[in-house]
Amino acid sequence: MVDYLVSTCGVPQAKVAKAAPRFAHLRSPDRPDAALAFLRSQGLTRAQVRAVVTLHPTLLLRDVDATIAPKFRAVRLLMKCLAKKWLLKYSVDWLKDSMSTLRGYGVPEARLVATLRQRPALIMRSPARLRALAARVDACGVPRGSWMYAWALLALHCVSDAAFRAKMAAVMCATGCTEQEFLAMFRRAPCFVGMSTELLRRKVEFLIGTAGCGADDIVRNPVLLTYSLSKRMEPLCRAIEALKARGVDVGKERLVTILRKPEVRFMERYILRYSHQAPELLELYPPDHHNGSLSGDSSTIGSSSQSEGD
């Protein structure tokens, strides 16, 4: 092990003498080899590996999967937070006050944590600005303490009042809904206001013009506006049309109902079931579109489906 630490790791002789007894129980270099291989796989140079091992030689005795890899993941998470230098400008008391304010609105703890993971800047607002934000959410009719309240806070945190009203006007114009109906849509799926006005218009046009949805379908199911056009709605509609063109009886379900099916159920019911009759289905609705992210992402704001901006 003395030779190993010097020749393989480049540890200085003075450090080796002190560290070698810790390695006396080893019968093979398998574990140190695995640790070194992992460090190099993470992009560390030979000089960096030597520096790390010289400082903490016993790192080579740690299990990669159980100890080293989890610590690397934790450090990478920490570095992402530290990269936001503005976070370091706020005192602990400020952050605690903001958290206390949010808890005071009855936001469930689990939802509060999930919300702050998505948008930590929410707790950087002063208590006065948080109260103003909460007032906007209250004006939309979202009840405090409800499961959607945190997502509504997060959605309006990212959208100014002027932008919110512009999007409301666009949806009202495209669907013919009233302001109260729009606010009801927001209460069911707050995140759809986070996309651009143009994208909202395109999605409404697709749902009505191509998918055959009625305006009332969109009003009752605002979660439709959170679905991806290119990754979900367009390929799904192409797949259903291909089945119908081959004379396959896809049942009496309306397309709006099919659109809302969880990804796994849609794949089983329409793609895998008929792939032998219509092999092109796997190209129209390729496997990389059903990797799980579209079937129910619990971190998505206010919906059970993928929300994205294409």
- Tell me the average pLDDT across 150-155: 90
pLDDT(73) > 80:
yes
pLDDT(14) > 80:
no
Most confident of 18-22, 30-34, 90-94: 30-34
In this prediction, residue 34 has a pLDDT band, given cuts at 50, 70 and 90, of: very high
CA dihedral 188, 191, 196, 199 (to 10 degrees): -60
SS (H, E, C) 113-171: HHHHHHCHHHHHCCHHHHHHHHHHHHHCCCCCCCCCHHHHHHHHHCCCHHHHHHHHHHH
Residue that wins the pLDDT comparison between 90 and 195: 195
Under DSSP, the state recorded for 12 is -
In this prediction, residue 291 has a pLDDT band, given cuts at 50, 70 and 90, of: very low
- Tell me the average pLDDT across 49-78: 87
pLDDT(309) > 70:
no
- Cα gap 111→117, rounded to integer Å: 10
Query: Which residues have CB under 8 Å from 17's CB, separation 6+?
Result: 2
* Model pLDDT, residue 64: 92
Indicate the pTM of the whole model: 0.62
In this prediction, residue 164 has a pLDDT band, given cuts at 50, 70 and 90, of: very high
* Model pLDDT, residue 102: 84
Instruction: Tokens for 215, please give them.
Output: 């305006």
* Model pLDDT, residue 87: 60
* Model pLDDT, residue 273: 87
In this prediction, residue 141 has a pLDDT band, given cuts at 50, 70 and 90, of: very high
pLDDT(186) > 90:
yes
* Model pLDDT, residue 82: 58
- Distances from the Cα of 297 to the Cα of 52, 254, 303, angstroms: 38, 24, 8
Residue that wins the pLDDT comparison between 224 and 288: 224
Separation of CA 48 from chain center: 33
CA dihedral 292, 191, 198, 177 (to 10 degrees): 120
Mean pLDDT is lowest, of 195-199, 230-234, 262-266, 292-296, for 292-296
* Model pLDDT, residue 301: 38
